[in-house]
């Protein structure tokens, strides 16, 4: 059983690393209105958060994380650059892993600043690395931005790109769509012509809020899609290569630079990657041995859209990650209703770092 005094000492130890930057210390309500979280995560969040009801506000959640409410606050209150740090409990339902804790401490750090995003990326990463000093960890990094840029530069329709981008965080469905668009698997074909479909619609009663116009528009889209050329296999190959890339940052960068000769659309994101590595190097991080995975961050971190990273225990491989973080520029735009500011952040688990420190000592 963890001694609570030890735990709060460990949390404090992590927190001072971030407070030392002069970041504003944020406190948040335990209860958050569900809508914002539901809009962002979709229904899946209900499986992960404790939900309750307020007679006035309706559905509320015990905060499952700090980042979203902090982004919301920042986007409503100010648009000037800011650094925030926090230390407090979050609450998670554990259906899949009943042995994991329902409430645990998080220490986190967020930078809202567009002046030099890559420098901010490196700052967050380096601070986390510093806070975890002495704990044997395996580090994974990636960059969702490169992946998104690759999808955007495919020579195909905007509709297809939009569909692929929407599912970038759902690898399975992403693959299904990509296979359909590239002719590797059959795609939805209208098996009747539009006239027949229109007659078919008339046979049924129209019920619900989705109207006939929407159905006709989609039938038109299916028809268009079936007439659109498949995506060039060479481009699909490039995408696959990026997704399966696993190497050190330095090697990955030079590999991707070669790839960009055939796919110039990713060049800008590679410039950012290169800049970030320089800043990391300046901060004393050896990027020659830092791992990079083309697919990293696609499964569990749905709002990250640039640099992503995770620190995992080397000895306790079944443990949740000790720290995760990344860039979430698009999230600020979504929550800022038109306003936006580049942002990057990270979150650490004092309960896990304490466990690992104690084990390391034994």
Residues that bind another protein (CB under 8 A): 38-39, 42-44, 46-47, 95, 98, 163, 166-167, 170, 172-173, 176, 188, 197, 200-201, 203-210, 212, 214-215, 217-219, 222
Q: Tell how far CA 39 is from the center of its chain.
A: 15
- Closer to another protein at the Cβ: 225 or 235? 225
Which residue shows structure tokens 């042995």? Answer: 99
Q: Could you tell me the smallest distance in angstroms from the CB atom of residue 94 to another protein?
A: 9
- Closer to another protein at the Cβ: 78 or 221? 221
Instruction: Compute the half-sphere exposure of residue 222: CA atoms within 13 Å on the CB side of its CA.
Output: 16
- Closer to another protein at the Cβ: 188 or 233? 188
Number of continuous H segments (helices) and E segments (strands) in the chain: 14, 12
- Closer to another protein at the Cβ: 138 or 152? 152
Which residue shows structure tokens 């299916």? Answer: 222
**Pairing status of strand 307-313 against strand 291-293:** unpaired
Q: Could you tell me the smallest distance in angstroms from the CB atom of residue 186 to another protein?
A: 11
Q: What angle do CA 87, 90, 96 make, to 5 degrees?
A: 140
- Closer to another protein at the Cβ: 1 or 207? 207
Rounded to whole angstroms, what are the CA distances from 47 to 50, 125, 350, 354?
8, 30, 24, 28
Q: Could you tell me the smallest distance in angstroms from the CB atom of residue 292 to another protein?
A: 25
Q: Could you tell me the smallest distance in angstroms from the CB atom of residue 60 to another protein?
A: 16
For 285, the token pair is 């991080």
The enclosing H or E element of 211 equals none
The rounded distance, in Å, linking the Cα atoms of 142 and 1 is 35
| Beta strands per DSSP E along the chain | 24-25, 31-33, 51-54, 58-62, 82-91, 103-112, 137-143, 246-248, 291-293, 307-313, 323-327, 343-348
Q: Could you tell me the smallest distance in angstroms from the CB atom of residue 9 to another protein?
A: 34
- Closer to another protein at the Cβ: 8 or 179? 179
The rounded distance, in Å, linking the Cα atoms of 245 and 217 is 39
- Closer to another protein at the Cβ: 204 or 261? 204
The rounded distance, in Å, linking the Cα atoms of 244 and 241 is 5
The rounded distance, in Å, linking the Cα atoms of 28 and 269 is 34
- Closer to another protein at the Cβ: 42 or 136? 42
Q: Could you tell me the smallest distance in angstroms from the CB atom of residue 163 to another protein?
A: 7
Q: Tell how far CA 189 is from the center of its chain.
A: 33
Q: Could you tell me the smallest distance in angstroms from the CB atom of residue 206 to another protein?
A: 5
Q: Could you tell me the smallest distance in angstroms from the CB atom of residue 32 to another protein?
A: 18
């Amino acid at each position: 059983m963890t001694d609570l005094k030890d735990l709060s000492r460990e949390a404090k130890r992590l927190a001072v690393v971030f407070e030392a930057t002069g970041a504003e210390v944020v406190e948040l309500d335990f209860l958050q209105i569900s809508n914002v979280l539901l809009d962002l995560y979709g229904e899946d969040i209900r499986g992960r958060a404790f939900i309750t009801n307020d007679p006035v506000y309706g559905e509320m959640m015990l905060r499952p994380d700090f980042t979203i409410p902090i982004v919301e606050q920042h986007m409503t209150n100010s648009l000037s650059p800011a650094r925030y740090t926090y230390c407090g409990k979050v609450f998670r339902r554990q259906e899949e892993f009943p042995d994991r804790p329902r409430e645990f401490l998080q220490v986190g750090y967020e930078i809202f600043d567009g002046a030099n995003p890559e420098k901010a990326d490196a700052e967050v990463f380096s601070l986390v690395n510093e806070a975890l000093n002495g704990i044997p960890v395996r580090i994974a990094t990636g960059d969702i931005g490169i992946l998104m840029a690759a999808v955007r530069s495919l020579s195909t329709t905007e509709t297809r790109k939009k569909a692929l981008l929407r599912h970038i965080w759902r690898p399975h469905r992403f693959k299904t769509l990509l296979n359909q668009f590239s002719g590797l698997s059959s795609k939805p074909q209208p098996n009747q012509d539009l006239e027949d479909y229109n007659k078919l619609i008339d046979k049924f009663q129209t019920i619900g809020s989705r109207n006939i116009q929407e159905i006709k528009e989609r039938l038109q889209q299916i028809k268009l899609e079936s007439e659109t050329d498949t995506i060039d296999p060479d481009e699909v190959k490039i995408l696959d290569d990026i997704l399966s890339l696993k190497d050190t940052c330095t090697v990955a960068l030079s590999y991707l630079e070669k790839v960009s000769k055939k796919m110039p659309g990713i060049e800008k994101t590679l410039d950012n990657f290169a800049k970030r590595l320089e800043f990391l190097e300046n901060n004393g991080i050896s990027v020659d041995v830092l791992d990079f995975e083309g697919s990293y961050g696609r499964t569990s971190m749905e709002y990250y859209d640039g640099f992503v990273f995770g620190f995992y225990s080397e000895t306790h491989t079944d443990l949740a990650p000790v720290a995760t973080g990344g860039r979430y520029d698009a999230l600020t735009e979504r929550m800022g209703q038109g306003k936006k500011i580049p942002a990057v952040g990270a979150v650490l688990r004092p309960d896990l770092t304490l466990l690992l420190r104690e084990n390391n000592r034994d």
